[in-house]
Amino acid sequence: MAYPYVSDKEVRILSTYFGDPKQRHLDTYVERGGYKALEKALGMGADDVVNIVKDSGLRGRGGAGFPTGLKWSFMPKDSSRPHYLLCNADESEPGTFKDRELIRWDPHQLIEGCLIGAHAIRAQHVYIYCRGEFFETTQVLARALEDAYAKGYAGENILGTGHTIDVTVHAGAGAYICGEETGLMNSLEGKRGEPRVKPPFPAAVGAFGMPSTINNVETLCAIPHIVTNGGEWYKQYGTEKSPGTKLFCVSGHVNKPGNYELPLGFPLQELIDDVCGGVRDGNALKAVIPGGSSVPIINAEEVSRCTLDYEGCVEVGTMLGCASVIVMDETADIVKQVRRMVDFYAHESCGQCTPCREGSAWTAKIMRRIENGEGTEEDLDMLMEVTQKMVGTTICVLSDSVAAPVQSSIEKFRDEYLALIRRGERVGAA
């Protein structure tokens, strides 16, 4: 079940045991069928496992939506050098809170997914990079991992198959940019978490200079189910290009915020009105950010046309990202929220690339000035131009993420900016 509210519209695969503390225990997990997928996978060749995942059409759940099977197939087929599987549990995108639930309710699901993934890419070591703030969550994971080691599900000679796969839980130290794949690798290596230029790509030069693959927590949690039931089974859910289910994190001005596992392609309007119990206090809907703060904001009209899959979101001019739905009602102060998001990016920018380092801080200062009633209409045009220079000109896309909320809010909520500029009036209160 999703957490903390359930809906009968849900399709529960990953979130079946949310809210059930017994699931953390290894014997319960095994009793309920756990680690059978691992056994099955270890009995297959690595490439066979990759093919099942390719078949399923699973796309990366961390925000990029890159086909997972294809990503795994980029790894070298020989193991002359150590391969690494990295699990990205550095969940820091504003609005996202699914990985935390996945880890703390069903840690063994993730561990099993990691082990299967490691086998598929011929890796002998898995690093689960958890954000540093996840103290409690990480302890649950570490404890479960300890049990897995004790019972022979991880480490040397897993289940007597002769395969050795080690798992290490690694904690970050508070940097959003370490959720970027090469930023994470640098952080893991004990460096500043600054993203690297690609090429070379991680499958050629990754963690510690070795071929590596990085996957999101939710992606890896889906793996045991796909291996057990096959690729075709997974494709029965979702849409043709975006198969499967997704954990949608809904937050903001709804009555029942939380995680909901739904098939991809679910209509956004239905998610808000039905699954989440509607906008709070019966207020009118003003805007929604469907994929975490890095994707463009859409207005109420666009919400009514938006289906929650990768293609559907693009059609209304936004992106699915990590499917973190932030709902804003009529009381929301768009300028303030955009300013807060830009502050976030300016705070988290690693500082390597000049457009991002200077541009994010500059944009934040302009936004603050507008919010304080000292803005001009020229500022709006300048913001559009300046943020456009931050798109496509940097090593990673944090820079592009500054442009998304700024440009979409100026395009669709210009009246709120103008109210502040012309009359010093704030439209919203929240």
3-state secondary structure 199-240: CCCCCCCCHHHCCEEEEEHHHHHHHHHHHHHCHHHHHCCECC
Q: What is the dihedral of CA 266, 268, 274, 275, to 10 degrees?
A: 70
What is the contact mask toward another protein in residues 228 to 267, using x (rule: CB under 8 A)?
A: ---------------------xxxxx-xxxxx--------
Residue in this structure with the two tokens 């897995």, named with its chain if needed: 148
Q: Judged by CB under 8 A, does residue 308 bind another protein?
A: no
Q: What is the dihedral of CA 121, 322, 101, 55, to 10 degrees?
A: -40
Min dist CB 122 to another protein, Å, is 17
- Identify the CA nearest to 296 among candidates 267, 320, 276: 320
Nearer to another protein, 243 or 355 (CB): 355
Contact range with another protein by CB under 8 A, out of 52-60, 220-228, 238-246, 322-330: 322-330
What is the contact mask toward another protein in residues 397 to 416, using x (rule: CB under 8 A)?
A: --------------------
Residue type, 419: A
Q: Judged by CB under 8 A, does residue 421 bind another protein?
A: no
CA distance 20 to 247: 17
Q: Which of residues 70-89 bind another protein (CB under 8 A)?
A: 82
What is the contact mask toward another protein in residues 268 to 307, using x (rule: CB under 8 A)?
A: ------------x--------x---x--------------
CA distance 7 to 391: 39
φ/ψ (deg, to 5) at 128: -100, 105
Q: Judged by CB under 8 A, does residue 192 bind another protein?
A: yes
Q: Which of residues 20-49 bind another protein (CB under 8 A)?
A: 21, 24-25
Residue 202: which residues within 8 A CB-CB, separation 6 or more? 181, 182, 185, 211, 212, 213, 214
Q: Which of residues 332-391 bind another protein (CB under 8 A)?
A: 332, 336-337, 340-341, 344, 346-355, 357-362, 365-366, 369, 382, 386, 389
Helix (H) / strand (E) element for 142: namely helix 135-150
State the DSSP string of 355-405.
Answer: HHHHHHHHHHHHHHHHHTT---HHHHHHHHHHHHTTSSSSSSTHHHHHHHH
Q: Judged by CB under 8 A, does residue 3 bind another protein?
A: yes
Q: Which of residues 99-158 bind another protein (CB under 8 A)?
A: 99-100, 104, 130-136, 138-143, 145-146, 149, 154
The footprint of another protein on this chain (CB under 8 A) covers a number of residues equal to 106
Contact range with another protein by CB under 8 A, out of 44-52, 63-71, 181-189, 304-312: 181-189
CA distance 317 to 265: 16
Q: Judged by CB under 8 A, does residue 187 bind another protein?
A: yes
Min dist CB 422 to another protein, Å, is 19
Min dist CB 348 to another protein, Å, is 7
Q: What is the largest CA-CA distance in the chain?
A: 74
Nearer to another protein, 276 or 306 (CB): 276
